[in-house]
Amino acid sequence: MPDIRRVKERLFLALVSLLALAAVAPLFHILATLALRGLGAIVEAGPGFFTQAPAAPGSGELGGIGPALLGTVWLGLVSALLGVPLAVLTGVFIVEYRGSLLAGLARLSTSSLVEVPTVLIGMLVFLLIVKPMGHYSILAGAVAVSLVMLPYTVSYVERALSQVPHTYREAGYAMGMTRSQVAYRVAVAIARRGVAAGVLVGVSKALSETAPLLFTLGSARGVYPTSPGSLLEPGDAVPLLIFQLAQTPYENWQELAWGAGLVLTLLVLLLFTLVKLLVREVRV
C-alpha cells in the first residue's frame, strides 16, 4: 500500500498546478487572440499600417495608426522629460532625508497617488491646462500621464537607493563630500540600474494609459505631430485610438484596433523585458 502522505502530496501538487493553469489560461487566451487578430490586421494593411491614418469608417480599407503611433512617441518623450526628473529627485529625497517630516509627506503623497483613479487625474489636468488654453493638446496629455507614472518611478528609485549599503555613503562623507554629492555621485551612481528600471516602468505605464487622455489629448486622428510646436495642438495616441475604435460598429475600425492593440502590447512587453534585465543585473 503506497504511503498515504505521498499520495496526499501528489494530489496537492496536482491541484495547485491545475489552479495555476486555470489562473493563467485567460491571460494566454487573450494574448493568443490578440496576436492572431492583430497580426492579421497588420498583414492586411501592409506597411501603411505604421504610416497612414485610419481609413474612412465602413470602407473596405483599414488605413493605419501612423498619427497615433507618432503621437504616442511624443507623449512618452514629453511625459518622461516632465515626470522622470521629479520622480528621481523625490525618490532620492525620501531615502536620503528619511527622518524628516517633509520626506514622510512626500512618500505618503506619492503612495496615495497610486490609489487615485487616473481618470480623475485627466479631469484635473483638463481644468488646469486644457480649459485655460481653450483646446486639447499633446502637452496636456503628457502632463496627465507624467502624474500617473510618478508614483511607480518613485517606488522603484526608493527601493534601489535603499539597497545601497550605508558604508558607501560613509566613505563619501569621509572624502569630504556634501550630503547632496553623496546622494547623487555615490548612491544614485551605484543604484543606477535600479533607477533606470524605475524610469522604464514609469514610461511603460504612461504609454499604456487611456483614461487620462480622454480629457486632455483630443483624438486628432489625421494629425502628425512632427515638431515641438505640435505639442500645443490636439493629437492622438495608440491607447486612446484602441479605446475609441473598438467601440464603433465599423468592422474596418475594429480590425484596426486589434492591430493597434498588438503593437501596444509588444511595446509594453519590450519595456518590461528591459526592466527585468536591468533589475537582474543590479550589483551593489
What CA–CA distance (Å, rounded) separates 157 from 90?
A: 9
- The pLDDT mean for the chain works out to 87
Residues in Cβ contact with 130 at an 8 Å cutoff, skipping those fewer than 6 apart: 136, 137, 140, 215, 216
User: Which amino acid belongs to residue 96?
Assistant: E
The 10 Å Cβ neighbour count of residue 53 is 18
C-alpha cell at 78: 514629453
User: Which class is domain 66-280?
Assistant: mainly alpha
What CA–CA distance (Å, rounded) separates 79 from 56?
A: 31
Q: Binning pLDDT at 50, 70 and 90, where does residue 2 land?
A: low
Q: Binning pLDDT at 50, 70 and 90, where does residue 282 land?
A: very low
User: Which amino acid belongs to residue 242?
Assistant: I
**Rounded mean pLDDT, 196-211:** 85
pLDDT of 283 over the 50 cut: no
**Rounded mean pLDDT, 233-261:** 92
Enter the pTM of the model: 0.84
Q: Report the sign of the C-alpha dihedral through residues 237, 240, 246, 249, in that order.
A: negative
Q: Which of 123-137, 147-161, 240-254, 267-281 has the lowest mean pLDDT?
A: 267-281
pLDDT per residue over 130-183, tens digit each?
A: 999 999 999 999 999 999 999 999 988 888 888 888 888 888 888 888 888 888
Length of the chain: 284
- If DSSP states are collapsed to H, E and C, what string results for the chain? CCCHHHHHHHHHHHHHHHHHHHHHHHHHHHHHHHHHHHHHHHHHHHHHHHCCCECCCCCCCCECCHHHHHHHHHHHHHHHHHHHHHHHHHHHHHHHCCCCHHHHHHHHHHHHHHHCCHHHHHHHHHHHHHHHHCCCCHHHHHHHHHHHHHHHHHHHHHHHHHCCCHHHHHHHHHCCCCHHHHHHHHHHHHCHHHHHHHHHHHHHHHHCCCHHHCCCCECCCCCCCCCHHHHHCCECCHHHHHHHHCCCCCHHHHHHHHHHHHHHHHHHHHHHHHHHHHHHCCCC
Q: Binning pLDDT at 50, 70 and 90, where does residue 262 land?
A: very high
pLDDT per residue over 21-63, tens digit each?
A: 998 898 888 889 999 999 999 999 888 899 998 988 888 788 8
Q: How many alpha carbons lie under 13 Å from residue 51 in its C-beta half-sphere?
A: 3
**Whole-number pLDDT of residue 284:** 43
